[in-house]
Each structure stands twice: as structure tokens, then as C-alpha cells.
Amino acid sequence: MSKYLNLAYKNLQRRKIRSFLTIGGVGVAVAVLVSLLGFNAGYRIALEKDVSGMGYQVLVTAKGCPYELATVALAGTGSLRYLTDDTVVKIKQDKEVSELTPMLMNPLIKEDGNGFYTFWGIDKDSYTKLRPMVKIASDKHKERILDPVTGQEVDKEIDGPMGRWFNAHEVKPDEIYLKNGRVVKGLIVGEGEYEKVSGQELDPVSGEYIETKKTFKSIKIMLPSRIYNKVEVESATGVLTLKDGSKIKGEITKVDENMFKIVNKDGQGVEQINTYYSDNVLKVEDELSLKDGGEVTGVILSEAQDIYNIGDVELAYPNTEEVTSDLIETDSQGNLKVMNNKPDEKSVIEVVIGWEAAQTGFLQVGQKMTLKVKEMAKEKVKQNLTDPVSGQEKEIEKEIEKSVFNAYTFKVVGILERGGSKDDGSYFIQLEDAQRIFRKYKMLTGIGIKLNDLAKLPMFTDRVYNRKELGETQVVSLAEVKGTILNLVQTAKILVMSVAFIAIIVALIGVMNTILMSVFERTKEIGIMKAIGASRKDIFKLIWLETIIICALGGIAGTFIAVFGGTYIEKLIRGVMSRAGYVPAGQIVHFTPQIIIGCFFGAIILGVLSGIWPALRAASMRPIEAIRGGE
């Protein structure tokens, strides 16, 4: 056998470049196959690790496409849709819910545009209860502390917990006090100007009444608000809540600092007027009675001929509304009465960061961290435009979106234990802080839920969908998420596997071609071997062996390429996949001995198969024709 090997090997050496290229072709095909199988095995493991590391079994999100939801569920990226804070309260009422935790995920695009800082606004208590695996690490580490003697910041070596969770603290909404006694609560996001109808005037020329408009200064505030068509509304009324809890409905006006006046009708339809001291009044709101029997309580921000725009309502998506200065109460100096509870410059938001985030950012407990990020912002620009009719130059205002670079500063108060999941690269802050600094007032990306009995998930899902007031929500179980992602990946995998299959077919044809060519080139040689005693079997064996050698060498080369290039392949796949959405955090290309041995033997089988035909051709050459053929 070794003599045959020697002979076959020498034959392959005869055309070094050709043999090398053929081996290369087989190698590439094998490398692709090994990588794909490695990916196949690794991806599933990584995904399962991610899913089981979630802690909660069910996620409620805003309605969207299932793939997007899967992406949001596991990685938090994708185009985000939001739920409102009130959904938490409503869902909590469901009898099947054991624990739940609201979350706001906000990706911040890095300044260089290369990736994200993934921020999670969480409710620490409920979050850590549902996800006990997310915990503060404990190890020897350095912390930056304030030296009580010198008053200087120093690094101190500590063996123990790496910091702590952020302290829970109250985050107050901003408030705008209206002249009619109502208070609008939300997140003040800016100031502007607003044009509003201020009255009617008789046009002396046409004799018709025309509306006069006036521009007011406005405060832009983000709050949950809705627009109701007047046709849907039965009646609108004011509601005054006294400190003892009793409510009085009617037309409410604020007489002065100390007094409210309510006009309503008693049982007999007789108009009654009552007054209340402000000291006894808890709050003043508006209420819309809807024709379908529902009631909406909030603050009417504006009323037009056919609509009410009502803010501070439940289960409404937060919008930015403009409250004009003519509606806002002023103090004796004429200043608008507005409470902006923006945290002052000195108070830095506390952040708990994942292990990897700490490593890559060289961050330690007690350090301040400033993240430079790219954000989109709307900006009003003035443009000069020449009117085509009059030829006069006119100044117009246009709102454009442009990217701006912002910096966020946090104080690292804790570092999490390494978990091998997405959490390792994440940043955790208090939910309300996240809602405020990322301008997502009362918004959530999802609610993680643990049910009392997971088997009752279908009933729970039905109930959520049947509650209209929850709006456009979607219930996803993580088992489904896993299925969805595996489905999605499956589709891609089938495609890629077909490519690999084609690569193998091409390699097979290539090998066959090479060997056939060398067989034809050596016709006389084969004839002479037959003349000196080689049987069909001998020739078959020799040519077959050559093919198998080529494929075995290709197999070895391919396996080497795949295994030693594994990190690059991993990076490549990760890069491609992260463009599409979610990639599990763990190693996604995982080579098992079975895969490597399997592919190596696969290459040999490739050789066995592609060698049969050329070997048969060579073996069946008649010695006389082979020898005399060329003469």
C-alpha cells in the first residue's frame, strides 16, 4: 500500500500547481462546511443560553413584527416601539401574573458610529427579583473613593462586592400650572412659538368675520395625550378633587389664588354655584364622558371645533404638546408658573455596568463615566426663499433633522458579575432616570413577566389582547422568541447550506476534472503499467488513491482554515448578523470534535465519490489502445 501511496503522491507532485489549486478548492469547500456546521451548533447553544438567562418567561411589548420583537426581546435593538407606564399597572391586575418588571431599553449610538451603548432603565427591586442572575460582582478590585482626610479622590484596593446597585430615588415630573387651575405633568423638552386663533374681526371689505391669529410663546412638554373627536364624546366636564377624596363635577374656574368656583346643576336641573378654598382642593382635572360609556380623566390641553386634545391621561402614548403662554398662570412678576424638575448639574445619575462594559471602558466603582454619543435632533432653520410670483424674498422656517453629538455623564456605582450574556455589555440605570434623560417620558420597551403557571400562558395572552384599553400590545413568550429566531436563522441557514452544497459540488467536479485530465495525460503510462502486469483493479486503486489524497489534504487544509480562522469567521458572522438584528452574546461558532472529524471524513468521501469515475475510466482503458493510442 505504501508503494501505491508513494506512486500516487509522486503523480500529484508532477503537476504541483494544479494539485495545489485542486486541494485549495476542496479546502475552501471544507472550510465553509466546517464553519457552517460550527455556526449551526454554536448558535443554538448561545441562543439557548441567552433565552434561559432572561429570567422571565413572557415579555409584553408594543405590537410589531415578530422578528423585530424577537430582536427587541433578546438584544433590545431594532426599531423600538413603546408601551406606556400605565400598562404595568393594568397587567399587574391579571391573576396569573406572579412577578413583573418594566424596562426601557435605549441604545445610544457611539460617537464614531461604531455600535451602541445599550442602556436599560429598570426598576431595581422587581428586576433583580425576576433576574437573580444579574448581580453585583464580588472580587478584589480598586474603587475610587473620596479620602475623608485630604478630600481628594483616591483609588483603594478592596476585596468584596464591586459596589452596589443604584439608590432608588424619586424623579419628579415637570409641571406647568394653568390659569384654570389644572396642572399639566410631563417632561419639558423645550420652548417654542405657537400661532393660535385669538379672536374674530369683521373684515371691512368683504363684510365677513375672519379669524385673527396671534403668536404665543409656548412650552413644549412631553406627556401621554390623546385626541378625541367630539362625536365620540358625550360630555366634557371639570372634576375637582378635595383633599378628603370627594369629587365634585361641573364647570370649574379659578377665581383667584385662594378660591375655585364650580357651576353645576342639581337633580332638578337648577343651576348651582359653589366655591372652594384652594387649601381644601387636591387637584383639578377634566373628564370626558365617552359615548361608549368610558371615561377619560386628564387635562384638556386644547379644544377646537371638532376635537379635544387631552393630556395626562392613562394608556396614551407620550407626545410632545405645546402649551401656549396665554393659558399658563403667571406670578406677580409676570413669569410663567412652570416647575422644571430637571436634575441639577451636580447630581450625576448612578449607573451599574456590566462586566464587559467595565473592562472595555476601563471603569471602576466610584469613577465618573462620560459617554459621547450621536443623536438625531430636530432643529429649526431659517431659509431665505424668493417667491416665484412676487419676486420678493421671503424668510421661511424649516425643521430639519440632523445628528448632534451629546455627552452623558454617569457615576459608576456597581459592576455586575460576568454572565456571558448581553448584560455584560449593558448599562443599568433607574427607569425614571432613563425615561427622563432619554426623553422617553412614561415609555417602556417591554415588561418582563413571570406567570404563576406557564401552562396558562394562552389564557393570559388572550386576556391581554381582549383588554382594549391596553392598546397595541403583544405578548411574546421567550420560548416563542427562541422559535422565531431559530426559524429566521433556519431560513438563512438553508440558503447558506445550499451555497456550501454548491461549493462541495463544484469541488467535486473540480477534483474529478483534475484527475480525469491527469488520467488522459497519462494514457500511455497507464497502458504500460497494464502491459507490465497492472490489472484493472491496480489502476483503479492507484487513481482512486490519488483523488482521495487530494481530498484528504483539502480536508485537512479546510479544517485548519476553519478552526484557526474561527475567530475571524465568528467576527464576520457576528458583523453580518448584527446588521440584521440580534446576535446571541456567547460564542456563536462552536467546533465540536464530531464536526471536525465528520468534515474530514466528508472530504475523504468526496474523494471516494469524485475518484470513482476517473478511476473507472483509467481502469477500463485497453492496454493496447492506451499504448498505441497516440501513435
Partner 1 sequence: MLNIVIKSQGLKKIYRLPAGDLAALNGVDVEIKQGEFVAIMGPSGSGKTTLLDLLGCLDEITSGSLEIMGKEVSEARENKLVLIRRKNIGFIFQEFFLIPTLTALENVELPLLFDKLPENRSRAIELLERVGLAARINHLPKKLSGGEQQRVAIARALMTSPKILLADEPTGNLDSKNSKLIFNLLRELNKEENLTMVVVTHNMELGNLADRIIFLQDGKIIPKEESSLYH
Interface with partner 1 (CB under 8 A): 3-4, 7, 10-11, 13-14, 524-525, 527-536, 538, 622-624, 627-628
206 three-class SS: coil
CB atoms within 10 A of CB 207: 7
Q: What angle do CA 544, 547, 553 make, to 5 degrees?
A: 135
For residue 114, the minimal CB distance to partner 1 (Å) is 55
User: Please, which residue, 502 or 531, has the CB nearer to partner 1?
Assistant: 531
User: Please, which residue, 32 or 526, has the CB nearer to partner 1?
Assistant: 526
For residue 12, the minimal CB distance to partner 1 (Å) is 9
DSSP letters for 450-487: EES-GGGHHHHHHHHHH-GGG-SEEEEEHHHHHHHHHH
User: Please, which residue, 179 or 622, has the CB nearer to partner 1?
Assistant: 622
Helix, strand, coil percentages in the chain from 3-state DSSP, rounded to 5: 40, 35, 25
Distance of CA 495 to the CA centre of its chain: 25
For residue 31, the minimal CB distance to partner 1 (Å) is 30
Cell of 284: 383639578
Amino acid identity, residue 138?
S
322 three-class SS: strand
User: Please, which residue, 94 or 538, has the CB nearer to partner 1?
Assistant: 538
For residue 527, the minimal CB distance to partner 1 (Å) is 8
Looking up cell 488520467 gives 519
Cβ(63)–Cβ(473) under 8 Å?
yes
- Cα radius of gyration (the chain): 37
For residue 514, the minimal CB distance to partner 1 (Å) is 17
For residue 565, the minimal CB distance to partner 1 (Å) is 34
User: Please, which residue, 9 or 465, has the CB nearer to partner 1?
Assistant: 9
DSSP letters for 121-185: EE-HHHHHHH-TT--B-EEEEEEEEE-TTT--EEEEEEEEE-B-PPPP---PPEEEEBTTS-EEE
Q: Measured between alpha carbons, how far is 171 from 340 in angstroms, rounded to an integer?
A: 12
For residue 524, the minimal CB distance to partner 1 (Å) is 6
Q: What angle do CA 132, 133, 138 make, to 5 degrees?
A: 105
For residue 628, the minimal CB distance to partner 1 (Å) is 7
For residue 3, the minimal CB distance to partner 1 (Å) is 5
User: Please, which residue, 479 or 624, has the CB nearer to partner 1?
Assistant: 624
User: Please, which residue, 16 or 140, has the CB nearer to partner 1?
Assistant: 16
Q: Measured between alpha carbons, how far is 329 from 86 in angstroms, rounded to an integer?
A: 29
DSSP letters for 276-310: EEGGGEEEEEEEEEETTS-EEEEEEEEE-SSEEEE
Contacts (Cβ under 8 Å, ≥6 apart) of 518: 11, 14, 15, 18, 546
For residue 538, the minimal CB distance to partner 1 (Å) is 5
User: Please, which residue, 63 or 628, has the CB nearer to partner 1?
Assistant: 628
Q: 16-52 and 566-580 are packed helices; what angle lies between their axes, rounded to 10 degrees?
A: 50
User: Please, which residue, 101 or 514, has the CB nearer to partner 1?
Assistant: 514
User: Please, which residue, 288 or 534, has the CB nearer to partner 1?
Assistant: 534
β-strands 174-177, 338-339: how paired?
antiparallel
